[in-house]
DNA sequence: TTTGCGACGTTACACTATAACATCGCTTCC
DNA sequence: GGAAGCGATGTTATAGTGTAACGTCGCAAA
């Protein structure tokens, strides 16, 4: 078993310039570790859903996942995949992109963090960035209004460096 | 006709402490002005939808609007209200809250701006804040990754000062 | 062996959104 | 005046997203 490479500095927009099987493999290995540490079960379905989410860096919808699962021969109903996604969300293994109704693998599982997503409207890929500095500004601003912040949705849509032609 | 009071400093979480009819009235007056300036038509349906959106400071779903319209006797089909909302979005008179699939009146119509929304999970109200400082941080961060930012979704969920008991 | 529980299966449905085409009223232009 | 064009709305149907409720199954603890 090779040492797990934290996915932090990965650029999903560097299209063909990266070995994506490595991303997927590392993410699954990290998930196994995380679930073992937490004492929760990464069942075959949950693992398969996570694997499918990590099939690309493009956020993927629940029904697209269902179609992929159908290819395996399973043909589960919607609740099955939603339950798997709920589990993965709770364990911090995937994120939900509200503006797309879609899900994407978390690049920092295990670390407590908030994220900012850069979503390319051309290639559909999303990059997760640590939102710590922004979080600080927003928390302060919220407090100024007596607001106790719990959840944060930070999503930017635009063009990535590959798609803007530069 | 009384002078239009910019809605900027209004606190929607100050529950009963404000005359909400005033909010609604001012928003409609501002919308009339904005549409006249832009040379677009604030038709009866569009105006009514805007009025309903401004019936509270709680983001409201498209189907809830449909139900309200039905009370008037209209009973329009979904496309009618979605078209009205699309128009209001284009004119910058309402915002869509992605994390809620809901719509809320814009408190700064006419001004070019990005917004951060504070959404109380207890009372359901939302406050719109100018996101200029945060936008600056995010734009810079995006540029550092070669990402050309176009749209921004900034939504914070938590407890407002009224609901947290303070 | 029984009991409890977590995970998954299954059915049915609720909620959100849009495509496609019809109609209607208004303006423009000959 | 009549035809053409166009924006707004009506209408029908359907696509896409998400969940409630209940049943089943297997495993572990008592």
Q: Which two tokens stand for residue B33?
A: 């002005």
Average pLDDT over residues B100-129: 96
CATH number for A73: 1.10.10.10
Q: Which two tokens stand for residue A31?
A: 């998930």
Select from A13, A98, A134 the Cβ nearest to the Cβ of B138.
A134
- A128 within 8 A of A92, measured Cβ to Cβ: no
For residue A72, the distance in angstroms to the closest alpha carbon of chain B comes to 32
CA quadruple A34, A40, A45, A49: dihedral positive or negative? negative
Chain B residues with CB inside 8 Å of A134's CB?
A: 134, 137-138, 141
Nearest residue of A to residue B151, measured between CA atoms: A157
Nearest partner of A13 among B96, B128, B147, B102, judged by Cα:
B147
| Chain C, protein-covered positions (CB within 7 A) | 6-12, 15-20
Nearest partner of B121 among A4, A140, A152, judged by Cα:
A152
Nearest residue of B to residue A126, measured between CA atoms: B147
- B54 within 8 A of B105, measured Cβ to Cβ: yes
Q: Looking at A28-101, which runs of residues are DSSP E strands?
A: 94-97
Nearest partner of A65 among B12, A75, A107, A57, judged by Cα:
A75
Does residue A127 belong to any structural domain of this protein? yes
Q: Which two tokens stand for residue A78?
A: 């919607």
Query: Residue A7: pLDDT band by 50, 70, 90 thresholds?
Result: very low
B144 CB within 8 Å of a chain A CB: no
Give per-residue burial for A110-124: e unless 16+ CB within 10 Å, then b.
beebbbbbbbbeebb
Select from B133, B138, B158 the Cβ nearest to the Cβ of A150.
B158
Helix or strand or coil: residue B131? coil
Structural domain total, chain A = 1
Average pLDDT over residues B94-123: 96
A2 pLDDT above the threshold of 80? no
CA dihedral B100, B101, B107, B108 (to 10 degrees): 120
Does residue B163 belong to any structural domain of this protein? no
Q: Which nucleotide is nearest to B102 (CA to C1')?
A: C16
Q: Which nucleotide is nearest to B76 (CA to C1')?
A: D10
B14 CB within 8 Å of a chain A CB: no
How is residue A134 annotated by DSSP?
A: H
Res B41: pLDDT: 97
Chain A residues with CB inside 8 Å of B132's CB?
A: none
At A11-28, the pLDDT tens digits run: 899 866 788 999 999 999
B163 pLDDT above the threshold of 50? yes
Does residue A8 belong to any structural domain of this protein? no
B161 CB within 8 Å of a chain A CB: yes
Q: Which nucleotide is nearest to A80 (CA to C1')?
A: C8
Strand partners, A142: none
For residue A43, the distance in angstroms to the closest alpha carbon of chain B comes to 29
Does residue A76 belong to any structural domain of this protein? yes
Q: What is the DSSP string of A8-31?
A: TT--TTS-TTS-HHHHHHHHHHHH
Does residue B1 belong to any structural domain of this protein? no
Which residue segment(s) compose the domain that A131 sits in?
Answer: 20-158
Q: What is the largest CA-CA distance in chain B?
A: 54
At B65-77, the pLDDT tens digits run: 999 999 988 899 9
Query: Residue B166: pLDDT band by 50, 70, 90 thresholds?
Result: low
Select from B98, B145, B159 the Cβ nearest to the Cβ of A153.
B98
At B1-57, the pLDDT tens digits run: 333 333 456 789 986 678 899 999 999 999 999 999 999 999 999 999 999 999 999
Protein-to-nucleotide distance from the CA of B144 to the C1' of D19, whole angstroms? 41
d(CA A157, CA A127): 11
> Which phi and psi angles does A120 have, rounded to 5°?
-85, 125
Protein-to-nucleotide distance from the CA of B40 to the C1' of C30, whole angstroms? 28
At A114-123, the pLDDT tens digits run: 999 999 999 9
Does residue A137 belong to any structural domain of this protein? yes
d(CA A162, CA B147): 9
d(CA A156, CA A144): 25
Does residue B85 belong to any structural domain of this protein? yes
d(CA A52, CA A65): 7
Q: At a CB cut-off of 8 Å and minimum separation 6, what does B3 contact?
A: none
Does residue B4 belong to any structural domain of this protein? no
Nearest partner of B98 among A141, A59, A10, judged by Cα:
A59
| Residues 84-123/B with CB < 7 A to strand D | 84, 87
């Amino acid at each position: 078993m090779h040492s797990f490479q934290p996915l932090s500095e990965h650029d999903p927009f560097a299209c063909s310039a990266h070995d994506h099987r490595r991303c997927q493999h590392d993410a699954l290995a990290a998930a196994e570790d995380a679930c073992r540490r937490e004492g929760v079960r990464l069942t075959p379905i949950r693992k398969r859903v996570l694997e499918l989410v990590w099939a690309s860096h493009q956020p993927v919808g629940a029904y697209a996942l269902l179609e992929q699962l159908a290819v395996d021969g399973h043909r589960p109903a919607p609740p099955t995949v939603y339950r798997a996604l709920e589990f993965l969300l709770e364990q911090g293994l995937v994120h939900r992109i509200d503006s797309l109704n879609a899900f994407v693998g978390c690049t920092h599982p295990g670390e407590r963090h908030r994220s900012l997503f850069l979503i390319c409207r051309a290639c559909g890929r999303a990059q997760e960035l640590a939102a710590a500095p922004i979080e600080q500004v927003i928390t302060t601003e919220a407090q100024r209004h007596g607001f106790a912040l719990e959840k944060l949705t930070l999503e930017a849509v635009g063009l990535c460096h590959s798609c803007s032609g530069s």
